[in-house]
Amino acid sequence: MNPRDMQHPAPPEQRAWHAETAESTIERFGTDATRGLDTAEAARRRAVYGRNEIIETERRRIITMLIEQFKDFMILVLLAAAIVSGLVGDLEDALVIVTIVVLNGTIGFFQDFRAEHAMAELKRLAAFHASVVRDGHPLTIAAAEVVPGDIVLLEAGGAVPADLRVIEAPQLRVSEATLTGEAAPVDKHPQPLTGDATLPIADRTNMVYKGTVVTYGRARGVAVATGMNTELGKIAALLESAPALQTPLQQRLSRFGKQLAIAILAICALIFVFGVSSGEPPILMLLTALSLAVAAIPEALPAVVTMMLALGARSMAQRAALVRRLPAVETLGSVSFICTDKTGTLTLNAMRVVEVCPAGTQRLQTANMGVDDITGQLLRAVSLCNDATYDASGKLAGDPTEVALWEVAADAGIDRSALDRSMPRCTEMPFDSVRKRMTTVHRAEDSFIAYTKGAPETVIERCTSVVGQDGTPFDTTTLTSMAGAMAADGLRVLAVAMRRWPQKPPADTDELECDLTLLGFIGMLDPPRPEAAGAVALCRQAGITVVMITGDHPITALAIARSVGIASDEAQVMTGYTLGKLSDEALLEATQRIRVYARVDPSQKIRIVKAMQSTGHYVAMTGDGVNDAPALAAANIGVAMGKVGTDVAREAASVVLLDDNFATIVAAVREGRRVYDNVRKFIRYVLTGNLAELCAIALAPLFGLPIPLLPIQILWINLLTDGLPGLALAAEPAEPTIMQRPPRPPDDSLFAHGLWQYIVRIGIAIAAVTMGTQWFAMGLDDAHWRTMTFTVLALSQMGHVLAIRSGQTSIFTQGLLSNRPLAAAVALTVVLQLAAIYVPVLNNILDTAPLSAPELGFCILVSALIFVLVETEKWIIRRRLASVSATASFPNQ
């Protein structure tokens, strides 16, 4: 049987295993902590519960993915246009359209093909081998063979093969970054915990989970869940169920394609009926109507839009944002909520000591700290009671906390190497999660000194005095309050103490770690990136709400959120535990005011995203771990971290940040808005020109004029004016006010804000000057008047494309060369049009005739009227906006 066809049953019981004792868990699974399962029982359970694998859904076949690229309505319209072009003899136009369709289909196919790898990456994350106890003997088996009830052995450096309830855990530390998003290893122990199934994964310190990694120590545990029943498997199921969302641009182009097809069919029908009723041959009118339909379809639109997105993606890559799916470029411009992780995105992902509090009296910022005798003792203590070391490359390595302590001491001028020579370590009591302390003993000249560091509540209780305060009563309450005040500011606080011994102290921890003298407190923080606050402020200015979603402690999360401007008080913070008790309706209301979500699990991230989306918002979600992948896929746009992110997160995301920097997201949003603006400019330009061509050809007979252009001339103008100049609009710089506008509403029409009225108005104006030229030049021979009409239509569109670079700013303010590609494209188009007039070979192909200097001058002058018209409209808009601004500034005048 195909494993994906088999439903994995649940384990014998779905329980809050962290609340069970190790003994009761072993008993419930019918196993033995020493002997494990016997081989026959393991085989039986594997037959019942299946293999310990992440099951992939049936992948789409390549031919299916390829066919799906050609189901879009606009693509079908273009294919119909290609067939019509071939029937009326325009083989060149048909070939261009088919080429464009194939190009777009190929790009879409490769995007879909890459997306299929997300589940495969998730499956590969699992451990390949596992050490278990079977029949009383340790045995190495494939990780897929682990079954519920197996006794699993773990060692440092190994991956956890299944979800385990810890039985033994001497000094065990596990990196759970793939599940919780937090890089710091977690201390594990076998003692039962209080709390139900809603207790966050990060707080289940007697459980280890499939896909996480043991960084220190060893352990023995009983498998309580395998395969798709593990936390990793649940994430895989969430990732599978995330629906594929259409981007705003895809939605708008789909609507546009349908509207365009309806308009074309209506025009074709009207022209055909009018012609036949006027006595024209039906076959001739059918070909004429179809030819006009082909001319009206902007066949370059999909290719130009794709190219604009590609150029936007290249620009974003230069700013450290790698786009995996082209439509994501434009989607960023519609984002109204950014849900961001804390560690490494808003912060530097590097623990640093930011405060010291010598003798527990005065908090000193390390940036301007002086080193007196008491401060010096405190820093020497954290330098010696420290396991950080230099690696082979000479780089400081070790636990991030240890490295931070070493660095602050070194910055104060304390030489660890010299200290090791003068005060060598002779014994130590390693940190463990029960004591929450670490002690090292060092030989001094005539005595021994023990240094202890750890959680303030566990160190203060073992102190009897404070350094430099001899004879002063020991005030536990004041010292505890001082440490609490530092923690309330989001700092991770360590208490440091010492004791001098006349001879080598005993190895018993209770005796060694008592009657201590408190040296002070150390406050550490993963500091915010310097540019984060400015980026958050820019988001606020652009109407974008920034929300922090993190697995970290709420106090720490709020401290960072305050420092960068995301939140201001505790009322804007919600924990995953509280969120888990909210109904969907209550969560919907909460998303309007909550700005920090702390201690959340993967399914809760998706709930948050969906709640925001249900109110019409477009959501960008950042993440780096496996736990983030489902939310990345569910969001309108997923943004993965490139430096520390997992392959699963990157495959599920649309954009990958190469520098893991929140400011890069904001720059990408700005780029997305610019790309969408330029897409609208292209549509404004190309549809205005196509409408002008359509009106000039369709209306000329109504005014008693012959058809002004020949089919080959129509094809020339379409290829000439819609190609390079339109594509060059992709290089148009962002307008200065682009990040002062609110996000576009998701249902905003592609033709909103007066675009379709503009297209009709200016399209008719271009048709009018074209037909006016035809009427004026009718006294000349056919080749001359058609050439003049042909030239005015082409040059009018060149003036138009220069004028529409901005909706308000004059081209003279922008500068003609501020978009050099467009200036070059316009110049090349003008040269090619002159070649069509004056090169004999092209005269024969296009049926044109050389114009005299006055005739050419007349064409240039008439064509410039469109440029003047558009610039005048912009001048009126600027005057109106200035008047509104002045009224708002001085309302009483």
CB 312 within 8 A of CB 670: no
d(CA 631, CA 107): 25
The DSSP call for residue 126 is: S
**Of residues 611, 619, 353, 598, the one with CA closest to residue 496:** 353
Nearest of 679, 818, 674 to residue 739 by alpha carbon = 674
Please state, in angstroms and rounded to a whole number, the distance separating the CA atoms of residues 329 and 637: 9
CA torsion, ordered 866, 871, 877, 881, to nearest 10 deg: 170
Contact by Cβ (8 Å): 447, 328? no
Contacts of 23 (CB under 8 A, 6+ apart): none
Angle between the N-to-C axes of helices 662-699 and 248-277, in degrees from 0 to 180, rounded to the nearest 10 = 0
Q: Report how far residue 45's alpha carbon sits from residue 149's, in angstroms, rounded to the nearest whole number.
A: 9
Q: Which residues contact 639 (CB under 8 A, 6 or more apart)?
A: 620, 621, 622, 623, 632, 653, 654, 655, 656, 657, 665, 668
Q: Coil, strand, or helix at residue 220? A: strand
Closest to 510 measured CA to CA, from 526, 499, 495, 496: 499
Angstrom distance (rounded) from CA 688 to CA 617: 32
What is the rounded CA–CA span in Å between residue 23 and residue 31? 10
Q: What is the dihedral of CA 423, 427, 432, 435, to 10 degrees?
A: -90
Q: Which amino acid is at 227?
A: G
HEC readout, 569-580: CHHHEEEHHHHH
Handedness of CA 724, 315, 641, 331 (dihedral sign): negative
Contact of 865 with 692, CB cutoff 8 Å? no
- Mention every residue, 6+ apart, whose C-beta is less than 8 A from residue 547: 337, 338, 339, 340, 566, 594, 595, 596, 597, 608
CA distance 826 to 431: 71
The 10 Å Cβ neighbour count of residue 781 is 10
Edge-first strand order for the sheet with 129-134 is 137-142, 129-134, 151-155, 218-225, 163-168, 207-208
Instruction: With beta carbons less than 8 A apart as the criterion, state whether 871 and 883 touch.
Output: no
- Backbone Cα Rg of the chain: 36
SS3 of 752, please? Answer: coil
8 Å CB contact between 660 and 680:
no
Cα 209 from Cα 882, distance rounded (Å): 62
Distance CA 229, CA 51 (A): 11
Query: Of the residues 93, 341, 601, 624, which is catalytic?
Result: 341
The owner of tokens 């969907």 is 584
Element (H, E) at 755: helix 755-777
Neighbour count for residue 230 (Cβ, 10 Å)? 24
In a 13 Å sphere around the CA of 208, the CA atoms on its Cβ side amount to 35
526 is catalytic: no
Tell me how far the alpha carbon of residue 621 is from its chain's centroid: 6
The answer to whether the CB of 490 falls within 8 A of the CB of 558 is yes
Residues constituting the chain: 893
CB atoms within 10 A of CB 34: 9
Q: Are the beta carbons of 870 and 762 closer than 8 angstroms?
A: yes
Catalytically active residues, by annotation: 341
